[in-house]
Amino acid sequence: GQIGLTDFIFAHVKGQAKEIDIVKSEAALGLTITDNGAGYAFIKRIKEGSVIDRLKTLVKVGDHIE
């Protein structure tokens, strides 16, 4: 396929690993996780006002999930 004008392009830069504990206080965490095609899951989108959005200093779009 081709890259369209509305397609997302994510550049993943390896940084320092972090480990966080999250208390799920709502029905959903409010994030979309996808696969990068190389076997790694990453955060694609964070819903505004969600549990994860309140952790925006710790969790960001593009972060890999192990």
Which pLDDT tens digits describe the chain residue by residue (66 residues)? 788 888 877 776 777 888 999 888 999 999 999 988 888 899 999 999 999 999 989 999 988 888
CA dihedral of 57, 20, 45, 55, whole degrees rounded to 10: -40
Whether 25 maps to a domain, the answer reads: no
Whether 20 maps to a domain, the answer reads: no
* Predicted local confidence at residue 12, as pLDDT: 66
Whether 45 maps to a domain, the answer reads: yes
Three-class SS state of 54 = helix
Whether 13 maps to a domain, the answer reads: no
* Predicted local confidence at residue 31, as pLDDT: 94
Whether 3 maps to a domain, the answer reads: no
For residue 41, what are the domain limits? 31-65
Domain count within the chain: 1
Whether 21 maps to a domain, the answer reads: no
* Predicted local confidence at residue 8, as pLDDT: 78
Whether 38 maps to a domain, the answer reads: yes
Whether 54 maps to a domain, the answer reads: yes
